[in-house]
């Protein structure tokens, strides 16, 4: 069986890579250049679709189990679960703004930057918090049975990454 903490960490590292790419495009906008809005949308779509549908539901189940075993971690875990909702909302808002830009709507640069910054800061801090506080505890406390049930908390992908995500991942890696 694949080490679930290692798999969790590897997903976070990939998400960080995507966030760095997004940040580079936001930096281009801040410098007065034209960013690759399609790449930005692809990154947001991937993070929203993959993380919100598969990654975060598994984390929420892991959080639930950890909070049960370590009640003193309850408040920190509640904040992380809340951040999942904030990240989902911020991603949805940023995706809407990028769709408007691509459709030719006139939006202020600051509106795009604000939405992107909110998403980037929340997501980056969230990953750091999980990496520092949750993954080490999860590795010590959770049993193989827990990990199987955590895996089952997200919809099944049939063991294969959906083609849409595979194509998106390939595109993002090629444009990086």
Evaluate whether residue 13 is within a structural domain.
Answer: yes
Q: Whole domain around residue 42: which residue ranges?
A: 4-155
Looking at residue 160, its pLDDT comes to 47
pLDDT per residue as tens digits for the range 100-159: 988 888 888 889 999 999 999 999 999 999 999 999 999 999 999 999 999 888 876 544
pLDDT per residue as tens digits for the range 53-68: 888 899 999 999 999 9
Residues with Cβ within 8 Å of 80's Cβ and at least 6 positions away in sequence, in order, are 59, 63, 126, 129, 130, 134
Evaluate whether residue 167 is within a structural domain.
Answer: no
Sign of CA dihedral 68, 130, 133, 81: negative
Mean pLDDT of 81-107: 92
Phi, psi (deg, nearest 5) at residue 160: -130, 140
> Which residue did the predictor score with more confidence, 126 or 45?
126
Q: Report which DSSP code applies to 143.
A: -
Evaluate whether residue 172 is within a structural domain.
Answer: no
d(CA 149, CA 131): 21
Number of domains present in the structure of the chain: 1
Looking at residue 167, its pLDDT comes to 67
Residues with Cβ within 8 Å of 96's Cβ and at least 6 positions away in sequence, in order, are none
Q: Poorest-confidence range of 7-16, 63-72, 167-176?
A: 167-176
Evaluate whether residue 163 is within a structural domain.
Answer: no
CATH number of the domain encompassing residue 119? 1.20.120.520
d(CA 122, CA 128): 10
């Amino acid at each position: 069986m694949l080490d679930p903490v290692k798999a969790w960490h590897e997903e976070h590292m990939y998400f960080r890579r995507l966030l760095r790419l997004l940040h580079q495009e936001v930096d281009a906008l801040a410098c007065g250049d034209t960013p690759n809005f399609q790449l930005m949308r692809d990154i947001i779509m991937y993070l929203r679709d993959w993380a919100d549908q598969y990654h975060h539901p598994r984390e929420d189940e892991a959080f639930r189990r950890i909070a049960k075993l370590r009640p003193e971690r309850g408040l920190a875990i509640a904040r992380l679960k809340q951040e999942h909702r904030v990240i989902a909302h911020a991603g949805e808002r940023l995706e809407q703004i990028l769709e408007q830009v691509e459709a030719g709507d006139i939006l202020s640069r600051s509106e795009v930057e604000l939405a992107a910054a909110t998403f980037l800061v929340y997501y980056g801090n969230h990953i750091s918090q999980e990496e520092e506080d949750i993954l080490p505890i999860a590795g010590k406390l959770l049993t193989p049975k827990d990990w199987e049930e955590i895996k089952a908390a997200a919809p099944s992908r049939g063991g294969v990454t959906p083609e849409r995500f595979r194509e998106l991942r390939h595109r993002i890696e090629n444009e990086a």
